[in-house]
């Protein structure tokens, strides 16, 4: 029995019904810990395994690169000889590939840069504001531009959407100039990937037809997280006839409303595609007492499927008497709370701390928690997305690759020069290099190498030599990377933690990107994938993970501490102000629901009587979960 057959034999009847679904729209309403990712990946593998002689492809999209990589690995394990027929990635990576292949229909060259760094976008905005004689104060419109783009609203005519006509006209001018700047530099930002892919299929109908024919089955994980723009992209790509759409969602885990996620997207999918619905309510992750608390909490929300079944506790192996799987603690102050939690974690076997997580609504609470853990001699790291590297060495590496691919990229030159100056404590000016390039007609990288060659340092000269070789033969960039890594000492005394973390992040990124695009992919494609991915290093073994609730979605841990369960903290001040029946309060309740269902074995909930010097009441969510509040606080 192979891996796929084994997995198929272990499915529950409800899971099997979803996996065995073939044609037509299907909506799978799957609760936390119900095996939804297993269902989706098994369905992909089964469709491919049963049609080895067919040429159709299967598309499966989710919302994080890590989740997509894990899905791709599972599918490859099931059907190693058919895995190349599956396109598994994120919405952004799928749109990036679409624009690489077909963007020329709307004037986008396939070797476009992706501006993933906020600093690059701000620099471009300042540049176009200056060129168009606009006000420096107009920089504040970048967030507004992002919101318009997320709704697939183009610059032309956007002014009429504003109540204040003068503000609307100003935004439209800045938005138009910004988009023209992106086009001139052959660049896209994150929002452009979705917006331009939508413009492509709306303008070139043949592209949408091609995708309907090439991809017979479409699957979407975490469908509740789709934005309005992403949903319209799906709807337009499907057209009026395509119906083989398989969507997996949980309306109790919509916690990204600030980013455009909404229950309305689920309702629109139901109205537009009239799908058959299957529910997966059995939770195999959490002990029954946590499942019971989650059920009692979430029924207070109204923005959820009326016929939704409550979670069913399916976990059979319990390590504690069930009542001991949930603990509620009260403290006098947030300092006392952090110290007590840190003491509790310090008592856990160090070999098991890698399966411990502390979750909080805000990063400020996590920073206090990290200090308390450090004081208790416990290794802990705050998980967060990093859009760029931190060390001079790896900032230089990234910038050198960008310059090799795009010889006139001034922003890459600035990054390269700044990193090299910091690395070797020198003073090379990128303005002088740019001016020299105009006279010599050489590339920016070649002119930079000429200037940097004057630095009297053997290590610096070795790095310059690598840059010269890369500039002359950019197709050998993988050899360049390998030789570069040899020049940076590993775990040496003079290397700081940023370099070690960046090295670990680079190793993981390089491996994952090669798995996605292949080892023969050109430099431009490698850089586009690199831009989409977080530069966060893998967590060290036996390290406690500190995460905001939003970052924890999709994760699970043996031991979970959820701190800060007080009014104005969780739920947030804004949601309390909005009122009990507000959309904001419902989302805060979903935040709490997501947090508590991360726990595989044990959940500790805690709150303090005072935060930042202000007296706080215990969170209303504790009473809603049916928990008895402690009479006295621990100091």
The mean-pLDDT minimum among 89-93, 443-447, 631-635 falls in 631-635
**Is the C-alpha dihedral spanning 19, 21, 25, 31 positive or negative?**
negative
For position 497, what pLDDT does the model report? 81
Query: Position of tokens 């990576």?
Result: 93
Question: Do strands 113-115 and 326-333 pair parallel, antiparallel, or not at all (unpaired)?
Answer: unpaired
Closest CA relative to residue 31, chosen from 275, 290, 284: 284
Cα dist. 360→258, 308, 316, 377, 563 in Å?
18, 28, 29, 21, 5
For position 130, what pLDDT does the model report? 92
Query: Strand, helix or coil at 79?
Result: coil
Please report which confidence band the pLDDT of residue 295 belongs to, taking 50, 70 and 90 as the band edges: very high
Cβ(151)–Cβ(198) below 8 Å: no
Rg (CA), the chain: 26
Query: Position of tokens 């624009």?
Result: 99
- Torsion (CA) 344, 349, 353, 355 in degrees, nearest 10: -100
The mean-pLDDT minimum among 56-60, 255-259, 312-316, 362-366 falls in 255-259
Q: What is the mean pLDDT of residues 419-434?
A: 95
Write out pLDDT tens, residues 349-401. 999 999 999 999 999 999 999 999 999 999 999 998 899 999 999 999 999 99
In 311-390, the DSSP E strands lie at 312-313, 326-333, 356-360, 380-382
Please report which confidence band the pLDDT of residue 491 belongs to, taking 50, 70 and 90 as the band edges: low
pTM of the model: 0.92
For position 317, what pLDDT does the model report? 87
Q: What is the mean pLDDT of residues 611-635?
A: 92
For position 495, what pLDDT does the model report? 57
Q: What is the mean pLDDT of residues 432-439?
A: 93
Please report which confidence band the pLDDT of residue 493 belongs to, taking 50, 70 and 90 as the band edges: very low
DSSP 196: H
Opening angle at CA 445, ends 443 and 447, nearest 5? 70
Query: Position of tokens 């360049």?
Result: 480
Query: Position of tokens 């919302």?
Result: 63
For position 441, what pLDDT does the model report? 85
Looking at the predicted structure, is the pLDDT value of residue 629 above 80?
Answer: yes
């Amino acid at each position: 029995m192979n891996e796929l057959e084994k997995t198929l034999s272990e499915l529950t009847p409800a899971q099997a019904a979803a996996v065995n679904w073939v044609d037509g729209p299907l909506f799978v309403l799957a609760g936390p810990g119900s095996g939804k990712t297993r269902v989706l990946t098994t369905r992909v593998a089964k469709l491919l395994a049963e049609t080895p002689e067919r040429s159709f492809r299967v598309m499966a999209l989710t919302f994080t690169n890590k989740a997509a990589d894990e899905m791709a690995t599972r599918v490859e394990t099931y059907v190693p000889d058919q895995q190349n027929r599956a396109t598994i990635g994120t919405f952004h990576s799928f749109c990036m590939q679409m624009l690489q292949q077909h963007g020329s229909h709307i004037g986008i060259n396939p070797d476009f840069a992706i501006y993933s760094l906020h600093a690059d976008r701000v620099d471009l905005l300042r540049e176009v504001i200056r060129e168009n004689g606009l006000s420096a104060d107009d920089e504040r419109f970048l967030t507004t531009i992002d919101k318009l783009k997320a709704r697939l609203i183009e610059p032309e005519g956007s002014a009429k959407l504003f109540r204040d006509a003068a503000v609307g006209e100003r935004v439209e001018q800045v938005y138009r100039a910004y988009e023209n700047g992106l086009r001139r530099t052959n660049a896209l930002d994150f929002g452009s990937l979705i917006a331009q892919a939508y413009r492509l299929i709306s303008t070139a109908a043949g592209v949408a037809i091609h995708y309907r024919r090439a991809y017979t089955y479409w699957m979407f994980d975490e469908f509740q997280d789709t934005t309005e723009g992403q949903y319209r992209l799906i709807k337009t790509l499907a057209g009026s006839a395509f119906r083989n759409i398989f969507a997996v969602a949980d309306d109790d885990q919509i916690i990204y409303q600030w980013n455009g996620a909404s229950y309305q997207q689920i309702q629109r999918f139901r109205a537009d595609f009239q799908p058959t619905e299957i529910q997966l309510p059995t939770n195999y992750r959490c002990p029954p007492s946590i499942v019971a608390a989650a059920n009692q909490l979430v029924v207070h929300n109204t923005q959820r499927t009326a016929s939704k079944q409550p979670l069913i506790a399916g976990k059979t192996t319990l390590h504690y008497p069930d009542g001991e799987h949930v603990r509620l603690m009260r403290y006098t102050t947030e300092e006392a709370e952090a110290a007590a939690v840190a003491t509790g974690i310090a008592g856990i076997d160090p070999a098991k701390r890698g399966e411990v997580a502390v979750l909080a609504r805000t990063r400020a609470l996590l920073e206090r928690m990290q200090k308390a853990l450090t004081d208790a001699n416990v290794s802990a790291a705050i998980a967060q997305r990093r859009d760029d590297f931190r060390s001079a060495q790896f900032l230089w590496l990234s910038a050198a690759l960008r310059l090799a691919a795009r010889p006139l990229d001034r922003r890459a030159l600035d990054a390269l020069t700044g990193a090299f100056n910091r690395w070797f404590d020198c003073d090379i000016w990128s303005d002088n290099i740019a001016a020299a390039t105009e006279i010599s007609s050489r590339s920016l990288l070649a002119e930079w190498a000429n200037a940097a060659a004057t630095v009297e340092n053997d290590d610096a000269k070795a790095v310059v030599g690598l840059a010269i070789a890369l500039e002359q033969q950019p197709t050998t960039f993988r050899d360049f990377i390998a030789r570069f890594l040899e020049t940076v000492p590993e775990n040496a005394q003079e290397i700081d933690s940023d370099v070690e973390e960046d090295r670990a992040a680079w190793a993981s990124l390089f491996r994952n990107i090669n798995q996605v695009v292949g080892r023969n992919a050109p430099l431009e494609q490698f850089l586009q994938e690199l831009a989409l991915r977080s530069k966060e290093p893998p967590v060290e073994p036996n390290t406690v993970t500190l995460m905001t609730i939003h970052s924890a979605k999709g994760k699970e841990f043996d031991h979970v501490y959820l701190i800060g369960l007080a009014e104005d903290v969780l739920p947030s001040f804004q949601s309390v102000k909005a009122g009990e029946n507000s959309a904001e309060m419902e989302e805060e309740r979903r935040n709490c629901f997501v947090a508590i269902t991360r726990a595989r074995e044990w959940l500790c909930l805690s709150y303090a009587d005072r935060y930042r010097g202000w007296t706080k009441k215990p969170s209303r969510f504790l009473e809603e979960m049916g928990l008895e509040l402690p009479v006295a606080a621990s100091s």
